[in-house]
Structure 1
Amino acid sequence: MELKDLFLTPLYLGLFYGLAFALRKRFTNSITKKYFIPALSVKFLGAIALGLIYQFYYNGGDTYNYFTHVKLIYQAFVDSPAAGLKLIFAKAEYDPLTARYTGQMYWYNAPTEYFVARVGGFCALFCFGTYTIVSLFFALLSFSGMWAMYLTFLRIYPLAYKKLAIAVFFLPSVFFWGSGLMKDSLCMGALGWTFYGFYHLLIVRKNMLTALIMGGIGIYILMSVKVYILLSFMPPALLWVFNENNQRIKSAALRMLLKPLFIVLGLGAGYIGATNLTAGDDKYDVEKIGERTKINQEYLTTQATNGSAYNIGEFDGSPGSLVRVAPQAIIVSIYRPFLFEVRNPVMLLSALEATLFIYLTITLFYRTGLLKSFRLIAARPVLLFSFLFCIIFAIGVGTNSGNFGTLVRYKIPLMPFYLSALYIMQFMAQPQPRRAKPALRAQVNNARKLGRLATTE
């Protein structure tokens, strides 16, 4: 951070808040209005805090490596707008006009990392290349997707609007790691847009143009930055579509006939998507992902010098070993670190959230009963989708991380879905006052403009 951060940040915060208050009526109704500004505020807080932690606690790190590239793109634009634009839209090709800048970029040939730098470089054009304000732009992008995620959950189950706001916006790890100049901020926003687009386009079939645009942008960003999030999302989402449409078929015989067909189509689409999206990619090619997961786990474990490493068992990258370590990977991703495993402040934050997940999971299943809990999940397709997505994603990040320091960042996409699913189950398991439903439903249905984006009926 530099001196200009101190002078420009308050000015831009004022501009962003002014814009937020001006747009709030268009994106909210009487129920969601009170969460809009607080949710945006914690994103801004997370973006600023992330920069301060990396500067004064870690003494550098990924966010400053990204900003090094952002500064080079911004400087190129100052020297020559044509060179700056070429760097923003570059695809790792050699160009004499940009060579003196790309020669200083460590990640120029790394597509996923350079994508973040390109987005940051574009944002830098509007804020004089200032780190904190670029981070605030990333927080805004992330917030827009998280707000779309919240509206989608709210449309599915409006009675839990308070708890859903906590699950989506106010988990400390999510708004801290998912707000600054990092991959995670773009991915959280993109996941929210994808979730919104998928639900409105393929399930309720409303706001279809808005859903198509938002979902398309979200999928493109996930493919460009962390395609494994999309690969974890798609199979449960396709099953979700089948379950929703299966419930609408009145004939039991036809449902039984179509069920295996939809399952086969879903598995086929998932396989084709996985192989085509990742073919030739050294990081995510399905032919190499098991081997790379083993290498990453071993490297991160041996490099962990702060006592944050964990062991989920012997894993050699084969499908059989993946099945063996999957239960441990799920536990470590969702319910660990335990409080007695805490070694630093960042781990404490993650441990408190994991303890909340443990408490809510145990109390819910104990009070509701194991069989009734599974019946609730089976009865509500969104619950089945959410838990399956969390399980698949937890296995992936749990086997790939090797230590809690990286895991706390990797796992944030599953956290809003897991906690939201728990809260929805809570409300489904307890009797609801009948008189409150019509009034609440009327409030929820009071949508605003912009393609009825805030509709939650």
Structure 2
Amino acid sequence: MNPHAIFVLILNLLVIGGFSYFIYLRLNNSPARKLYFPALFFKVACGLALGLLYFYYYQKGDTVFYFNAAKDLLKFPIADYLQEVFFTKIPYNQRSTLPMVKITSLFLWVTGSNYWLATIYFSLFSFCGCFYFVHQLAKKYPEFKMTAAISFLFYPSVMFWSSGILKESVVFGIVMFLSGFLIRYYFWRKINIWQVFIFMTGGWLMLVLKYYIAAVFLPVVVVVFLLSFANNSDKIKNSKPVYKYFGLVLLVAGVVIWASNMQYNLDITRIFSVVKDNQQQILATGNPENMIHFLDESQSILMVFPNLIIALFSGLFGPVFPQMTSFLQVTLCIENLMVLVLFFTSLNRKIKVSDDNRVLIYGGVIYILILATLLSYATPDFGTLTRYKVYFMPYFLMFILCKNLLVSKLKSLIKFL
């Protein structure tokens, strides 16, 4: 390693360490402060492990492609490079990959094309979003601090697949930041111009990188925000119920129309055919043993409805018994079995949904149900679906862990021992 590379390495490690410690110092009053460094180290380790897995075991994959393509982009003269990254229009057939390549190239530029430093930056961004959300939630409900931490900071598959140089690191980090902003506004009515700017920028970047995630997440956030605002308006609260229901119908209809115009493939007249084409392409080319098996829809369009239920179950709990030919598949099987057990043990609990968090909880449930169903139906390959689960699984896990009878009994047993 030459002196310049050593200097770049040390400089970036100082920046990463200094930034991480600066964030830690700002958490003086956070109930989750003690979890900060363990969660940070775990997240960074997941990002490094993902790089090792793809570079030295698979020797291919998205993270390898982004890295190599970004290095090629950096070979341009500096003026041409900046023109290409910031001003050149992205061709339609490259919209799924080129934006991520451009983002990756910026981090390779400041790290001297060091993959491992770049992957730490990506992991750090995703971690900061996750911890910000947990911090905001723990401030309101300190008793759910560990539940939120397990779901958003320490759940292995979610942390692994939302780390390193992957789209999931960026988009999941944005989802977490925006969720944290929503929590902050919902409970404390606090929002500033920087958060509005980050929300707008983050929403745009979500549309660029993962438009189908944005098409579900952003409308739910907007509806929850507007309903929260309405619930705190005396004029709206005191209006007649018929006006409230009519307003709600108009709001939902408006949001659906907005979502359908976010991207060409989301148009109401096209979305089902796009989803179905993607599903059939995956089923035709993938390994049948790693697929979700749907009922035949060729005889009746009504078979779509039981298939959506199959997709929902598979998204939340599958695969329970995959081909266990690798360590990752074994851990995935264990995780899914645990989630299934936790779900059933959560059914008998008694939870009263208070008026102050009703809208937030209902919004979260709707987000989980829609995203788990659509992603599983459109992408029936369990390998790909495992990555996509990062967008809804931690929310679902938090819901089933809250006041879970099995968890409560385990806590009592540990205290007794």
TM-score (norm: length of structure 1): 0.78
Q: In the alignment, what sits opposite 1:354?
A: 336
C-alpha distance in 1 between matches for 2:326 and 2:7: 32
- Alpha-carbon spacing, 1:290–1:30, altered in 2? closer, same or farther (3 Å): closer
1:125 aligned to 2:109? yes
Q: In the alignment, what sits opposite 2:123?
A: 139
The answer as to whether partners of 1:157 and 1:424 remain within 8 angstroms in 2 is: no
- Alpha-carbon spacing, 1:364–1:340, altered in 2? closer, same or farther (3 Å): same
Q: In the alignment, what sits opposite 2:285?
A: 303
User: Which residue of the other structure, out of 381, 389, 396, is the alignment partner of 1:411?
Assistant: 389
1:389 aligned to 2:372? no
The answer as to whether partners of 2:122 and 2:165 remain within 8 angstroms in 1 is: yes
C-alpha distance in 1 between matches for 2:5 and 2:282: 34
The answer as to whether partners of 1:141 and 1:186 remain within 8 angstroms in 2 is: yes
C-alpha distance in 2 between matches for 1:426 and 1:388: 21
C-alpha distance in 2 between matches for 1:315 and 1:35: 48
- Alpha-carbon spacing, 1:335–1:287, altered in 2? closer, same or farther (3 Å): same
User: Which residue of the other structure, out of 136, 139, 157, is the alignment partner of 1:152?
Assistant: 136
The answer as to whether partners of 2:8 and 2:112 remain within 8 angstroms in 1 is: no
Matches within 5 A, 1:68-107: 68-76=68-76, 80-92=77-89
Partner-residue secondary structure (3-state), 1:29: coil
Q: In the alignment, what sits opposite 2:180?
A: 196
In structure 2, give the amino acid aligned to 1:263: L
Q: In the alignment, what sits opposite 2:414?
A: none
Q: In the alignment, what sits opposite 1:104?
A: none
Give the C-alpha shift of residue 19 in structure 1.
Answer: 2.9
Matches within 5 A, 1:168-187: 168-187=152-171
Q: In the alignment, what sits opposite 2:66?
A: 66
Size of the alignment, in residue pairs?
401
Give the C-alpha shift of residue 422 in structure 1.
Answer: 2.5
Give the C-alpha shift of residue 174 in structure 1.
Answer: 1.3
- Alpha-carbon spacing, 1:364–1:73, altered in 2? closer, same or farther (3 Å): same
Partner-residue secondary structure (3-state), 1:185: helix
- Alpha-carbon spacing, 1:150–1:83, altered in 2? closer, same or farther (3 Å): same
C-alpha distance in 1 between matches for 2:189 and 2:246: 22
C-alpha distance in 2 between matches for 1:406 and 1:50: 15
The answer as to whether partners of 1:315 and 1:321 remain within 8 angstroms in 2 is: yes
Give the C-alpha shift of residue 116 in structure 1.
Answer: 0.8
Partner-residue secondary structure (3-state), 2:196: helix
Give the C-alpha shift of residue 246 in structure 1.
Answer: 5.9
CA RMSD of aligned residues (A): 3.1
- Alpha-carbon spacing, 1:162–1:361, altered in 2? closer, same or farther (3 Å): same
- Alpha-carbon spacing, 1:229–1:385, altered in 2? closer, same or farther (3 Å): same
Matches within 5 A, 1:41-440: 41-76=41-76, 80-92=77-89, 109-201=93-185, 204-241=188-225, 244-245=228-229, 248=232, 254=239, 256-278=241-263, 281=264, 283-305=265-287, 307-315=289-297, 320-339=302-321, 342-366=324-348, 368=349, 372=350, 376=353, 380-424=358-402, 426=404
The answer as to whether partners of 1:108 and 1:114 remain within 8 angstroms in 2 is: no
In structure 2, give the amino acid aligned to 1:67: F
Give the C-alpha shift of residue 6 in structure 1.
Answer: 11
Partner-residue secondary structure (3-state), 1:396: helix
In structure 1, give the amino acid aligned to 2:369: I
C-alpha distance in 2 between matches for 1:399 and 1:7: 49
Q: In the alignment, what sits opposite 2:24?
A: 24
Give the C-alpha shift of residue 38 in structure 1.
Answer: 1.7
The superposition leaves residues 105-138 of structure 1 with CA deviations (integer Å, 9 ceiling, x where unpaired) of xx89412311111111111111111222221111
Between the two proteins, what is the percent identity of the paired residues? 22
Unaligned runs of 5+ in 2: 409-417
Give the C-alpha shift of residue 197 in structure 1.
Answer: 2.8
Between 43-52 and 301-310, report the one with greater CA deviation.
Answer: 301-310
The answer as to whether partners of 2:292 and 2:311 remain within 8 angstroms in 1 is: no
Give the C-alpha shift of residue 267 in structure 1.
Answer: 1.3
C-alpha distance in 1 between matches for 2:114 and 2:301: 46
The answer as to whether partners of 2:44 and 2:163 remain within 8 angstroms in 1 is: yes
TM-score (norm: length of structure 2): 0.85
Q: In the alignment, what sits opposite 1:450?
A: none
The superposition leaves residues 140-159 of structure 1 with CA deviations (integer Å, 9 ceiling, x where unpaired) of 22122212222233244232
In structure 2, give the amino acid aligned to 1:70: A
- Alpha-carbon spacing, 1:395–1:340, altered in 2? closer, same or farther (3 Å): closer
Give the C-alpha shift of residue 25 in structure 1.
Answer: 1.0
The answer as to whether partners of 1:194 and 1:216 remain within 8 angstroms in 2 is: no
Partner-residue secondary structure (3-state), 1:397: helix
User: With CA pairs under 8 Å and 6+ residues apart, which has the higher RCO, 1 or 2?
Assistant: 1
